[in-house]
Structure 1
Amino acid sequence: MNTIKSYASLLIDTVWARLIFAALAGALSAFAMAPGNHWYTLITGLGLLFILQKRAKKPYHAFWIGWAFGFSYFLISLNWIGNALLVEGNDFIWAYSLAVSGLPCLLAFFTAIACYFSRKLTSNNVIHSLISFIMLLGTMEVLRGYVFTGFPWNLYGYAWGGQIEILQILSVMNVYGLTFITISWGALAGVTFSPGVSIKMRLISALIFMATFGALHIYGADRLKNAPPMLAENNLTIRLIQPNIQQADKWKRDKMLQNYEHLLALSANNDAQSDLRKEKLSPQTTWIVWPETAISYHHIGTEHMHDMLRNMLRTYKDNVYLITGILLKNQNDNSYSNSIVIIDKNAEIIARYDKSHLVPFGEYIPFQQWIPLQTVTQFSGFRAGKGRQTLVMPDDKKIGPLVCYEILFPGQVVEVQNKPDYIVNVTNDAWYGHSAGPEQHLMKARYRAIEENTPVIRVANTGYSAIIDGFGRYVVKTNLFETNIKEFK
């Protein structure tokens, strides 16, 4: 028996075995992200990572252990990104393998650097190792949200999408704080099961884990217990229009009019009897919300299409405003803007926001002088807007507009000194098909709603569209790849 244990210990202690175990731990951890939301897989995976990097004989061994963990974690949880290259008519299908593996390869270096310095700066003291692992890995996750324009997708704090009680801690800290807590719980689990650690230290680690987990759960449950339901504003109806236009058809010239007529038909007020019932009541206001780039400068600039829009808006007896994503062309330099505009009943633009956080390789090519490629969206020359902005509706309500993945960045979604009543996030996730991508993107909106204690109105071309209250609860929600109209009134 001792011989078998010796051989097993020798096998596990080899560099290659540790790399394999690290990769498996990373792959397991990926199932904590949406749509799985199996948080315990991440706690297990981080615990294994803590043990493996701590037992590494040299710091550079710990570096590659961290890289193997990170690569498999991001490979599994972000593999949907390559789906954008599989859309009919896209010329970059040849780069599918590079897109699926290239980004995880780069992101894995954040985990690798944390593990390298955690091993290098600490001795065999388990408390020192615990603190350095938590601080370094947490710091690298924060840096991931800022370096090279930032990509804080699937931070470890996003493991709690299925635990709305735990999510309530976001009301006092953002997802970066929850990421530090999550790493702490994983490291404590690692200490609890680490070989060579005293029974006393294992018990203390387990008790700290259970006590803090229980405290957060109790706090969240109490906050939700006292949370009032989200009620509609007086005399305000919010209509979410999910047209479900396939990405392959979205920009085809021969489909443009058909797509536009489809949007108008979904948005028109066909309830004449309801209008008659409201004649003696106070005037109603309707917000119609369309998804990202639902229309373009062609629709606004073409007289016939402009008239079609005005006729649709005039089917409403009282006040009506269209909040829509739009592709605009800037005449002064022929650049494009991915924008949100507010359009009044006369089909005139009365307010505008330009997307400020552009998507690398989607809306611009970084270092284009050395990378002479066209963007995945096949539009080039996008111009970034000026940053966060609050738009005031004619009915004095304030909205914080965000286009697509701008909802991804915690602490960067609203004007702090001019906070909106609603965050409006328009997007188009049709690129990614039936995959984890739309689920994960929706989860980011849910986190921002709790962090800002502000309802999020999210409208996506093919779903998911939703209204999420300041506690992260879905007030209305559509399914993926369905044509739908949701009203909140």
Structure 2
Amino acid sequence: MRVAPRLLAVAAGAAMALGHAPFGLPAATLAALAAALLLLDRAVPGAEGAGADTTCPGLRRAAFTGWACGLGYFAVTLHWIVEPFLVDIARHGWMAPFALVLMAGGLALFWAAGFAAAVWLVPASGWRRGAALAVTLTLAEMLRAVLFTGFPWGLIGSVWVDTPLRLWTAWIGPHGLGALTVLLAASLGAALRPGAPRRGVWAAGTGAAFAAALLAGTVAQRAAPTVQDAARPVIRLVQPNAAQHLKWRRDMIPVFWNRALDLTRAPAAPGAQTPALVVWPEVSLYYLLGTAPEQDAAIAAAAGGVPVIVGAQRFDGPDLRNALAVIGPGGRIGQVYDKFHLVPFGEYFPGGALAAWLGLEGLATDYLGGFTPGPGPTLIDLTAAGLGRALPLICYEVIFPRHAAAPPGGPRPDWILQITNDAWFGRFAGPQQHLAQARMRATEQGLPLVRAANTGISAMIDPVGRVTGALALGTAGALDRALPAPLPPTPFALVGNVPLLAAAALVLAGLLRARRRALGS
């Protein structure tokens, strides 16, 4: 494969990433995906019958095309990954470029597998190969979401978060929306392919399919209940805006602490409903949970008797936990939830006893050591405050579609609660993409999502993914918003990815049968 096609494949992948925040150009994703398919056909033209190129060199060219596209895509989408290493630049700054290159190159291997598998299934270039890629790349992305603890950040389907197409995730999930996107790109590629027959038909079909999908999403969004309801309880989100490099400085701790208390005790707007709950962000206590009862009492007093949910560190025996706790009247500590899906290299260092022996603990940990995962998902019962049951998620956990579902064997939550400290992600792409993923989780489950972020973006999100109120990134403030009512369980909430996997199995069976016929076996 010559240098120019390689660079074009990287450029196509980079253009795909422009669909994500902060750029928000999903049309660029669609066009770049179509270009990537044309590049794949150019790299491995293929032909029907015995001359089809499914040799090792052909599959290597396909894999490299996919890897190059993935490299460009993940390098642009995840460029914010360098930000955590710049918080303490003297100690960790040298790691930043290696982190981005290794992350982008490693995740691109999933795309390499998806592209190579598509060519193996459909040796001949054309629309059917694009349909095969919709299946193989989707399966590769599903593996990316679970292997090595999983990292489903930047799923292709999430580029539609600011459009009504987002509503399709309530039916087919985020991976299904990604497959739909690849299918649309394959149809667009067929319309753009030089010399291809019926180009006008493909162009008209692509436009009609896109318009139908958009119309269905628009109808679903407009049919959703109104985003504001005066009868619903109000939740206050506190955003102290504690920059990560200042957060633990001794002279700044009281500044951020008093700011959070002041925002908690601030009166509601004239004529507005008094909040029924106050939510602070992740690790918002400067002390270990349960070690400073007078400070807990100060939080309760500032809230005027309503419960306050805080993020904190705590010891559970010898284990350090990243926790969420409910502080009630008088400072009494109520229900506690411990984060169970920790960030590799951030909150702990993979390697178990060997990593501990080497003193490797993760970027987001301090002298206390690395975190230990909690026992698993649970619900926080806030019925006494008129708020039903909340499913708590801490920071990174919201990027996993499976974590937003009801805990196994338990009742369905009434809403989802995310507390996070996005100060680690900088003030550009990372926090905006994190918010976009929270919106997708709300849409998939048909549940409102409440999001309190240290430096932003704190937001109230309704059950179809609309933001009903938000605090701007990099500002301090308090946001009072009514908690939207949940919708009935969505099809995706009920059956998850089972229909998508069944459809993928049927398509794969058909492609395998067609491949055997094409190769004369």
Same fold? TM cut 0.5: yes
Q: 1:361 aligned to 2:345?
A: yes
C-alpha distance in 1 between matches for 2:297 and 2:217: 50
Once the two structures are TM-superposed, the CA of residue 303 in structure 1 deviates from its matched residue by 4.1
C-alpha distance in 1 between matches for 2:354 and 2:297: 45
Match of 1:324 in 2: 310
Match of 2:78 in 1: 78
Question: Structure 1: where are the runs of 5+ without partners?
Answer: 1-13
Q: 1:159 aligned to 2:129?
A: no
Match of 2:107 in 1: 107
Match of 1:7 in 2: none
Once the two structures are TM-superposed, the CA of residue 398 in structure 1 deviates from its matched residue by 0.8
Match of 1:188 in 2: 187
Q: 1:209 aligned to 2:206?
A: yes
Match of 2:228 in 1: 231
Q: 1:287 aligns with which of 253, 274, 277?
A: 277
1:120-152 Cα shifts (integer Å, max 9, x gaps): 332225344122211111111111111111111
Distance 1:158 1:235, change over 3 A: closer
Once the two structures are TM-superposed, the CA of residue 468 in structure 1 deviates from its matched residue by 0.6
Once the two structures are TM-superposed, the CA of residue 236 in structure 1 deviates from its matched residue by 2.7
C-alpha distance in 1 between matches for 2:340 and 2:212: 39
1:386-442 Cα shifts (integer Å, max 9, x gaps): 222111113351111000011101132131641111111000111122220011000
Match of 1:387 in 2: 376
Match of 2:466 in 1: 473
1:177-200 Cα shifts (integer Å, max 9, x gaps): 1011011111222222223422x2
SS at match of 1:352: strand
| Between 212-221 and 408-417, the greater mean CA deviation after superposition | 408-417
C-alpha distance in 1 between matches for 2:88 and 2:349: 21
Distance 1:342 1:307, change over 3 A: closer
Distance 1:285 1:70, change over 3 A: closer
Query: RMSD of aligned C-alpha atoms?
Result: 2.2
Q: TM-score, normalised by structure 1?
A: 0.89
Match of 2:393 in 1: 402
Distance 1:127 1:38, change over 3 A: closer
Once the two structures are TM-superposed, the CA of residue 56 in structure 1 deviates from its matched residue by 2.0
C-alpha distance in 1 between matches for 2:462 and 2:267: 28
SS at match of 2:288: helix
C-alpha distance in 2 between matches for 1:352 and 1:90: 36
1:354–1:386: 8 Å Cα contact kept in structure 2?
Answer: yes
| Between 166-175 and 368-377, the greater mean CA deviation after superposition | 368-377
2:457–2:473: 8 Å Cα contact kept in structure 1?
Answer: yes
Once the two structures are TM-superposed, the CA of residue 206 in structure 1 deviates from its matched residue by 2.5
C-alpha distance in 2 between matches for 1:153 and 1:462: 20
C-alpha distance in 2 between matches for 1:392 and 1:90: 44
2:283–2:322: 8 Å Cα contact kept in structure 1?
Answer: yes
C-alpha distance in 2 between matches for 1:229 and 1:440: 25
Q: 1:377 aligns with which of 364, 368, 372?
A: 364
C-alpha distance in 1 between matches for 2:237 and 2:83: 26
Q: 1:144 aligned to 2:144?
A: yes
1:292–1:460: 8 Å Cα contact kept in structure 2?
Answer: yes
| Between 43-52 and 100-109, the greater mean CA deviation after superposition | 43-52
* Amino acid across the alignment from 2:411: N
SS at match of 1:138: helix
Match of 2:487 in 1: none
1:157-191 Cα shifts (integer Å, max 9, x gaps): 0111231x111112212111101101111122222
Q: 1:464 aligns with which of 444, 452, 457?
A: 457
2:127–2:187: 8 Å Cα contact kept in structure 1?
Answer: no
How many residue pairs match? The answer is 460
1:449–1:456: 8 Å Cα contact kept in structure 2?
Answer: yes
Q: 1:23 aligned to 2:10?
A: yes
Distance 1:43 1:269, change over 3 A: closer
Match of 2:252 in 1: 255
SS at match of 2:276: strand
Distance 1:235 1:407, change over 3 A: closer
* Amino acid across the alignment from 2:157: G
C-alpha distance in 1 between matches for 2:243 and 2:216: 43
Q: 1:436 aligns with which of 421, 429, 447?
A: 429
C-alpha distance in 1 between matches for 2:300 and 2:377: 29
